[in-house]
């Protein structure tokens, strides 16, 4: 069974990576899909985010990295994914994620959304928190995969 793990990953965190590692043991194939969202101005370009994800998942043989625009449900169908994977960190994620899951199932009834609970040690992590800490020069090396902390430092502190 093939699963799609969609997100912005701006940038990928150890919370995302933990979810990918666990998903890689549950599914035959996992496609990590970076959403190209014209409504948001990301810190990292699509190419940078794909590179960061590619490096972070290099040792996971059944995980690949793609990008897409448009509806997640359509992309999942086109890729032959029976499952859309999302992570739940706290109750605050639940309302939005449930709405998204219902929307996707109304668009494509054959794709199921499955939620994985975040590892407790990563439950405080989000891409926004990581960017906020890096912006003010804090150490993010325990929050992101190897190499991403350097990318953040270059992004926020080079002039």
Residues that bind ligand ADP (CB under 6 A): 7-9, 13, 15-16, 19, 86-87, 89, 93, 118, 122, 125-127
Give the nearest distance from C-beta 35 to ligand ADP in angstroms.
6
Q: Is the dihedral of CA 98, 67, 11, 50 positive or negative?
A: positive
Burial class (CB in 10 A: 0-12, 13-18, 19+), 53: buried
Q: Match 């359509």 to its residue by tokens.
A: 74
- Mutual orientation of helices 127-135 and 148-157 as an angle, nearest 10°? 50
Give the nearest distance from C-beta 20 to ligand ADP in angstroms.
9
Active-site residues: which are they?
16, 40, 89, 127
Which residue, 64 or 126, has its beta carbon nearer to ligand ADP? Answer: 126
Which residue's Cβ lies closest to ligand ADP?
15
Give the nearest distance from C-beta 21 to ligand ADP in angstroms.
11
């Amino acid at each position: 069974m093939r699963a799609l793990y969609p997100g912005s990953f701006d940038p990928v965190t150890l919370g995302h990576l933990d979810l990918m590692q666990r998903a890689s043991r549950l599914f035959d194939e996992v496609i990590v899909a970076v959403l190209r969202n014209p409504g948001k101005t990301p810190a990292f370009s699509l190419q940078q985010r794909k590179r960061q994800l590619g490096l972070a998942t290099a040792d996971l043989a059944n995980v690949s990295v793609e990008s897409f625009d448009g509806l997640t449900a359509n992309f999942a169908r086109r890729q032959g994914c029976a499952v859309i994977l999302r992570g739940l960190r706290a109750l605050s994620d639940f309302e939005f994620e449930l709405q998204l899951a219902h929307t996707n199932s109304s668009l494509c009834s054959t794709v199921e959304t499955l939620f994985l609970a975040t590892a407790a040690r990563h439950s405080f992590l989000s891409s926004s928190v990581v960017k906020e800490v890096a912006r003010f020069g804090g150490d993010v090396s325990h929050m992101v995969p190897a190499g991403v902390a350097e990318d953040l430092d270059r992004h926020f502190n080079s002039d």
